[in-house]
A and B are shown apart, each in its own frame.
Chain A
């Protein structure tokens, strides 16, 4: 609390203090920061908040909302306003948002151009469904298809990543005529009846029948049994197809960087080998781009492109609408054709407001050159994190690309023992300094750094200094 008040009181000081200078000093000379670092300046005053306070909100949540609703921090944060890469709590205190509402706020909180698009559409027509024509859904589908390689040209709009993956799986099964799906251990693909089967983290799997899903060895370069050897992991997939299925499968699904699983990149070259095997077994290949899409990885617009493959079906959500409830499935006209067998309909999917919002997101990302920005800021961030790794033994692994980064904390680098308790303590400390990060991995010992894409180098430096400061005071 003392630290918090101190920061609030000295907030104005940050305008006169160059955080870059502080960070350079600390990293180059190996000094630990004695003082907590200051947030980069930001010329914006939040609107005075007059709503209910954290305690009241929390009481209501406990009374009226599902008990599975969890929250971050011992004293949960009441977030009442957002502006680009920053969030404000009920006292007007500013935080650097390094998690973006779980990789969702791609352009930045309340980005003015997206707001304008939503506002205009809200006043004209909010909802009429696709039984009538409306240009917004068609324009957005065209815009999205233009971002896709190969023959990925047919778009289905849904309301979430779960719905997108449900639909993709349905298409795979119908198109192939097969039932078995292959997914990676440590994957997260959703929480409904079909997708819960694909999800492969026991903490997210309720004990209900999960259908014919085969979970193969995760090609995790840090913890996986075969290290970074993609061909050995791929062999496991072939083995699974040969022994665990009829030899024919419906499809294979994977995230290109596992999100919930703790920002795990797949061993390089893995997807290319596996896609070939799966297609030979009659299956289709699905890329789940819910977290990795829209330029976040920096080097490419879509995560699967980092592995040089073209999937048969791509699913997306989160970043697609900067927070609007929106998901999509993109596939080839040939595969899409199977959906014409029966009626497939989605009441809200691609409604005028979400479509206008989604199209605005595509435009903003292009106009503001966000993909390149992610590459630049991301490599700066990852470079500095690797330096920090040399300083602190607790950092077992630094991974990811662009602004999709994971920091895995271990108490023993050789045994890779998850530093669960330490992660939780650091997590609180970071919040006290003014940084909100995410947490993930099966053991909850991975920091997930996936900020809005407008996150800049000063923000990265501040985050680094905050990590340095917190770890030094662990």
Chain B
């Protein structure tokens, strides 16, 4: 492979030309692969070629045919070497990634957006998929599943397999997962340690409830408590973030004897009877009674009335308590970085004064760490630690189990006591399988230094996105930290007009290039980048290059 690469380098003195060769060879392979499997990936590769021809009219190097014949010769010799076609695919990917890495200084230069970026190499072949096709699934979804179930992309993606930070569609095409199943798959898809822990546990006992003892739930609770500051030592396990927030709100109400809760505009905390009240985006709030929740101004540094002045927003909370409540409240609930709301970081210096106001009014402070927890922010294990406060209750879900249905509430022994007044029970909560998986997740995060990786690679990714903002007017804001990043698109930087249609187009193009990201914010104009924490620097480059390339073609 190296011999081939170096001979290619000799053939093309100019790096750009090498990039072109690489591009040609990739698209050829894509086409070849698609003819074997299906035509969908061909449509993804198709727009690349005209775009290139337009931007490189002065090419004087070897012709496509010449290179192609070399490629074919090389490919056929490889094919002889490896009887299995899958392995060939892998070898070729390896080869291109080597080239990609060699090329990266050029890719980062202005000309990056003229060359379709290539997904980093990954030493893995997905098992062949023999299940139903996207169309069949779509038909069944329409017949048997909720009409409120939506999907991304004009032609929705049939994701059949996942491996670490990559997903595979029905044709075996690989995508970089920049969304992590909505900030959920923290260790990486089907991480071997987590899968092994689950498989080991299901063969001994899956479910017996907490009526009997079992060490899994106790061990996991102890390990989770270990990750918590202060007196936060008592854990309640649930099955989701909604359940966790429902429980947290009830605990706050019971502990204080007050009903009034304060949450932030643009928050998402769940969709059950209590949590829908705390959620504060009209498109997630159905028209039913949602009493007892007051929504304070959102300390959004980009769109908020007071910019980054955290103390001014904090004053609004105090005002709300003084005028809108009896002066005594049950509590305050917040996401350290708003997820569904479009990765909005709370203005600096906001939480400390709010914490004081809440305490003065007798309330409890609840940190919703459903998206920002488990090392995702890089700088800290929990999002709230980035503003230097210790909440009374912490709720979590998503990343806690790497995709296993699991949620948790952690609080102090004193506050936890209120639940002994009556019975609280959760059938599945903390069952042996989910507990074991959750425990495995904690160990993987630690052993693989994923927090450090989120910090280093996340900062690099944010830096590159910030640089991209200088190039593309449409990027209004780049924000977040670690691997919870947002890119807000606007058609007018001054008016901050949401670029609703442009974001959809960009997202489609990125998908065609092989990058999956999320979308959020009240206007749906924010890219949410919350990948598995094993995301590499090469992945980050690929993601930014794909965004650059796509935005250049808007």
Q: Chain A interface (Cβ within 8 Å of chain B)?
A: 47, 51-52, 54, 56-58, 60-61, 63-72, 76-82, 87, 99, 101-102, 104-105, 109-110, 115, 118-119, 122-135, 137-139, 141-142, 144-145, 153-156, 158-163, 166, 169-170, 173-174, 179, 191-197, 202-209, 211-212, 317-318, 322-326, 333, 336-337, 339-348, 350-351, 353-354, 436
Contacts and interface: CB of A to CB of B under 8 A. Distances in A.
Contact of A124 (B127, B225, B287, B292): B127
B145 A141 contact: yes
27 contacts: A60-B218, A61-B218, A64-B234, A68-B236, A72-B211, A79-B205, A80-B215, A102-B427, A127-B184, A127-B185, A131-B518, A133-B137, A133-B158, A135-B131, A141-B140, A142-B144, A145-B143, A153-B143, A162-B272, A173-B288, A179-B289, A192-B246, A192-B247, A193-B274, A325-B406, A347-B181, A347-B397
Given A133-B137, A347-B181, 11 more contacts: A64-B218, A66-B235, A124-B127, A131-B518, A132-B156, A135-B137, A156-B145, A322-B206, A324-B206, A325-B428, A350-B145
Nearest to A103: B427
B242 interface: yes
A340 B144 contact: no
Interface stretch (B75-83, B97-105, B418-426, B536-544): B418-426
Interface in B402-433: 402-406, 413, 416-417, 419-428, 430-431, 433
A57 B428 contact: no
| Residue among B207, B287, B402 with the highest chain A CB neighbour number at 10 A | B207
Contacts of B247: 191-192
Contacts, number: 389
Interface in B124-145: 127, 131-132, 134, 136-138, 140-141, 143-145
Contacts of B111: none
B159 A76 contact: no
B161 A124 contact: yes
Contacts of B222: 60, 63-64
Contact of B241 (A192, A337, A347): A347
Interface string B236-260: 1101111100110110011000010
A70 B162 CA distance: 39
B182 interface: yes
Closest 4 CB pairs of A and B: A127-B403, A323-B207, A194-B273, A193-B274
Interface stretch (B146-154, B315-323, B449-457, B490-498): B146-154
Contacts of A160: 239-240, 243, 426-428
Given A132-B151, A343-B148, A347-B240, A204 B221 contact: no
A81 B158 CA distance: 37
A79 B214 contact: yes
Determine which residue in B148, B207, B212 has the highest number of CB atoms from chain A within 10 A of its CB, and name it. Answer: B212
B204 interface: yes
Interface string B276-287: 000000011111
Contacts of B137: 133-135, 138
Given A163-B243, A170-B286, A209-B292, A204 B417 contact: no
Nearest to B284: A343
Contacts of B146: 154-156, 336, 339, 344
Nearest to A342: B286
Contact of B405 (A77, A87, A351): A351
Contacts of B189: 125-127
B462 interface: no
Contact of B235 (A64, A212, A337): A64
Nearest to A60: B218
Given A206-B422, A341-B286, A142 B140 contact: yes
B147 A52 contact: no
A57 B199 CA distance: 22
Contact of B202 (A110, A138, A142, A197): A110
Contacts of B398: 347
A118 B397 CA distance: 21
B51 interface: no
A71 B422 contact: no
Given A64-B235, A156-B146, A174-B286, A126 B404 contact: yes
Contacts of B138: 133
B205 A347 contact: no
B157 A132 contact: yes
A129 B221 contact: no
B405 to A, nearest CB: 4
B41 interface: no
A209 B291 contact: yes
B434 interface: yes
Nearest to B216: A51
Given A128-B162, A133-B151, A204 B212 contact: no
Contact of A342 (B145, B148, B206, B275): B148
B419 A68 contact: yes
Interface string B296-308: 0000000000000
B404 to A, nearest CB: 7
Contact of A132 (B148, B159, B431): B159
A69 B424 CA distance: 7
A354 B437 CA distance: 14
B273 A159 contact: no
A170 B249 CA distance: 19
Given A71-B211, A127-B402, A61 B221 contact: yes
Contacts of A134: 137, 158-160
A432 B402 CA distance: 40
A160 B240 CA distance: 9
Contacts of B162: 124-128
Contacts of B56: none
A27 B127 CA distance: 58
With most chain B CB atoms within 10 A of its CB, the pick from A138, A156, A158, A208 is A138
A79 B397 CA distance: 26
A60 B206 contact: no
B314 interface: no
Contacts of A174: 286-288
A72 B212 contact: yes
A72 B250 CA distance: 26
B202 A115 contact: yes
Contacts of A346: 240
Contacts of B161: 124-125
A2 B237 CA distance: 37
B208 interface: yes
Given A52-B215, A126-B189, A192-B274, A135 B199 contact: no
B213 interface: yes
Interface in B177-233: 179, 181-182, 184-185, 189-190, 195, 198-199, 202-215, 217-219, 221-222, 224-225, 233
Contact of A65 (B132, B144, B160, B234): B234
Contacts of B150: 130-131, 343
B190 A123 contact: yes
Contacts of A169: 273
